[in-house]
Amino acid sequence: MTPALPPACRSKLVAYAAVAVCGPLGAWLLLQIGLALRSAACAPSALLILLVIAPIAEETVFRLGLHNWLATKSSAQVGCLSLANVLVAVVFGSLHALHQGSALLLLTAAPALVFGWMWELSGRRLMVPVLFHAWYNLCIALASCR
């Protein structure tokens, strides 16, 4: 089980601010390195996947599956983050990088850390990282799909 976060890491206000910034910052970085979404990704069916299906599916697999499992194996912390959260973010980013290129490693792993942190702060309510994941994807879609 994920350990209680250290007192300095329990600020939901800081966590919400980090989530709010992740989307626009990720979109801006994506555009700066020239990795905007392809025009096919802007079709309504692709946006449904990007904004609804992917956040629900990915957060279910990575939070309820891998994150929970890793948390049962270790209660170690890396600063304000659980080791389970860090490992999940690395796996999540690596899988995106394999499919979409190495530049996506950081652009998916960093927000995944924040989503995992919020998941832990929320008492493991799945809807929290799902909504934040959808927000991140929406920012990228808005920046890319013109």
Query: Does a structural domain hold residue 1?
Result: no
The secondary structure of 55-85 as a DSSP string is HHHHHIIIIIIIIHHHHHH---EETTEEHHH
pLDDT mean values, one per 10 residues, the chain (146 residues): 60 78 84 72 87 97 96 91 96 89 83 92 93 91 81
pLDDT of residue 113: 92
The C-alpha angle 37, 109, 86, rounded to 5 degrees, equals 165
The one-letter amino acid code at 61 reads: V
Structural domain count, the chain: 1
Q: 82 phi and psi, to 5 degrees?
A: -75, 150
Query: Does a structural domain hold residue 55?
Result: yes
The secondary structure of 81-107 as a DSSP string is EEHHHHHHHHHHHHHHHHHH-TTHHHH
Query: Does a structural domain hold residue 2?
Result: no
Query: Does a structural domain hold residue 135?
Result: yes
pTM, two decimal places: 0.85
Query: Which residues span the domain enclosing 36?
Result: 9-144
